[in-house]
Structure 1
Amino acid sequence: MVRARRNKSYKLAKLYDRRSHELPFNAEVAEIEVDNPLALEPGEKIAAMRSIRNDPLGRLHSHHQIDEAQYRGGRAFQNDWEKAERGPQAVDPTREYVDGARTREPVTESQRQAVLRLNRVERELGTDGAALVHDVLVLGLTMDQIGQRRAVRTQRWNDYFARRFRECLDRLALVYGFATETVGPRAEQRR
């Protein structure tokens, strides 16, 4: 008769490993650290997978092409855009039907503040910078697609758009308060 081994050590890490090992065919994911929702102590982190397929800002951040302040500034811009946008809305079946006429819902204070911040961002970035940020962060276009829309298809233009987009992200980080302006030797020489 064979005896079972009782002193076998079990790894608890494998017991609580909730990561997906089977991804869809066309998945593009990156691993990030997020706050643990089941943590007993505040500040505890866990590893999670983030989809970066339709998220140019997430892709740049996961490939370490932009820093945390630029990433958070871009996310703040996207958040303000979503708050301020009042596009087509679905019909609410719970509301009373009155001849198809819909009353406009009032503008909330958060929407008003978002529009004011977006106006400030547009003044800071300029027309071209605001259009570039809108194309990437709202429409989700790549630098190659932006070049095609503007009828310039060379690698040099793609590099210019990428460099200009990073400059705009730096400005967004300053506007939203995720970074502070540094005064270095170059800035002093320009004065």
Structure 2
Amino acid sequence: MPRAKRRKPYDPARTHDRRSQDLPYNAEVATVEVDDPLAIEPGEKIVAFRSIRNDPLGRLHAHRQIDDTQYRSGRAFQNDWEKAERGPRAVDTTREYVDGGLQREPITEGQRQATLRLNRAEHELGADGSALVHDVLILGMTMEQVGQRRGLRTQRWQDYFARRLKECLGRLALMYGLATPSPVPAKDRHPG
């Protein structure tokens, strides 16, 4: 006769694993540590899954190809783009006119500031850098797609675009104040 299994006693100190065990077939996820929404003490963390399927910036961060500062600067750029994009809309002439329709929303101070930061970022990055950042962060393109769009399909060009994106994210981090400029080594300084 087989023995009955003993149940382990309840231990309230043991954390519960809230990660999903049944992911969709084509899911692409990465683990990330976030604040616990059910925590008793503030600052407690749990491990959760983040989808990186349509998020090139999240994918680069999850695969340790960019650091936290570059990741946060990319998210700040995306946030500014979303704020600035919500501006005045064109009149849709295909829709039927209705009395009492909604008035256009005025441009807010937050939208204006976001637009100014985006203009500054475009100036800092230059035409090529801002186009690359826009393709990856706003349109969600991979390095392979960026190369195909420009007619440059070799691995060497993909590596170049990846290095250039990291450089642009570093410039954005400086612009957003998430990083400080690296000091010039003493041997490179001009005597003055």
State the TM-score, normalizing by the size of structure 1.
0.85
Are positions 1:17 and 2:13 aligned together? Answer: no
Equivalent in the alignment of 2:116: 116
Deviation at 1:138, TM superposition (A): 0.2
Q: Percent identity?
A: 69
Within 2, Cα distance between the matches of 1:4 and 1:159?
A: 59
Equivalent in the alignment of 1:76: 76
Residues 133-185 of structure 1 deviation map (CA, whole Å, 9 limit, x = unaligned): 00000000011111111111111111111100000000111111111111143
Aligned pairs for 1:34-183 within 5 A: 34-86=34-86, 97-98=98-99, 103-183=103-183
Within 1, Cα distance between the matches of 2:50 and 2:135?
A: 22
Contact 2:70 2:170 in 1 (8 A): yes
Residues 84-118 of structure 1 deviation map (CA, whole Å, 9 limit, x = unaligned): 003769x9xxxxx4176x53210011111100110
State the TM-score, normalizing by the size of structure 2.
0.84
Within 2, Cα distance between the matches of 1:133 and 1:13?
A: 45
Q: Post-superposition, which runs of at least 4 consecutive aligned residues in structure 1 deviate over 6 A?
A: 2-7
Matching residue's letter, 1:119 = N
Matching residue's letter, 2:114 = A
Equivalent in the alignment of 1:33: 33
Within 2, Cα distance between the matches of 1:158 and 1:8?
A: 53
Within 2, Cα distance between the matches of 1:31 and 1:13?
A: 22
Within 2, Cα distance between the matches of 1:188 and 1:150?
A: 40
- Closer/same/farther in 2, CA of residues 63 and 7 from structure 1, 3 Å limit: closer
Equivalent in the alignment of 1:94: none
Deviation at 1:15, TM superposition (A): 7.4
Contact 2:80 2:118 in 1 (8 A): yes
Within 2, Cα distance between the matches of 1:69 and 1:15?
A: 30
Contact 2:60 2:66 in 1 (8 A): yes
Within 2, Cα distance between the matches of 1:5 and 1:69?
A: 50
Within 2, Cα distance between the matches of 1:83 and 1:99?
A: 27
Q: Determine helix, strand or coil for the equivalent of 2:41.
A: coil
Within 1, Cα distance between the matches of 2:43 and 2:62?
A: 21
Residue-pair matches, total: 183
Q: Please provide the CA RMSD for this pair.
A: 2.9
Equivalent in the alignment of 1:189: 188
Deviation at 1:11, TM superposition (A): 5.3
Contact 2:18 2:48 in 1 (8 A): no
Residues 18-64 of structure 1 deviation map (CA, whole Å, 9 limit, x = unaligned): 21101000000000000111212221111010000000000011111
- Closer/same/farther in 2, CA of residues 43 and 58 from structure 1, 3 Å limit: same
